[in-house]
Amino acid sequence: MDQELRASRPAPGRSCGACGQQSPPVRVREVCDRVGSRIHQSEEEVERCKPFFPDNQAADIVHAATCLHAGAVLISNDRHFERIERAGLIEVWTISEAIKNLLTNDKE
């Protein structure tokens, strides 16, 4: 967990086109602390999700670990989550699938 990771885009050493700022180093635990204020995923859940993502995808790792902890469906069009879904660790829906599934469930 002490390994320094960078948040999603921009890539290390690059600046964001929209604001021109360099992407700061982010530790996975720091993202957990910020994002997980309501749902506290364990170190084990984060570690279980980590192998499915590049090191620079700390936010995606935490997002997946949060869904793993809560038993929630992760809703995203990001293809970053395909490997973890194929492995059966979490369920992932695209936004279109989520709308379809949620609207279908609402009518029942």
Position 69 scores a pLDDT of 92
Position 60 scores a pLDDT of 94
Q: What is the dihedral sign for C-alpha 103, 105, 106, 108?
A: positive
Position 95 scores a pLDDT of 93
Residue that has been written with the tokens 């364990």 in this structure: 42
Full residue range of the structural domain in which residue 77 is found: 4-107
Q: For the chain, what is the domain count?
A: 1
The beta-strand segments (E) located in the chain are: 4-6, 25-27, 74-75, 92-93
Cβ-proximal residues to 77 (8 Å cutoff; 6+ apart), any chain: 94, 95
The band of 12, judged by pLDDT with boundaries at 50, 70 and 90, is very low
pLDDT in tens, 55-82: 889 999 999 999 999 898 999 999 999 9
pLDDT in tens, 13-42: 444 444 444 444 555 566 556 654 567 788
What is the separation, in whole angstroms, between the first and last Cα of the chain?
44
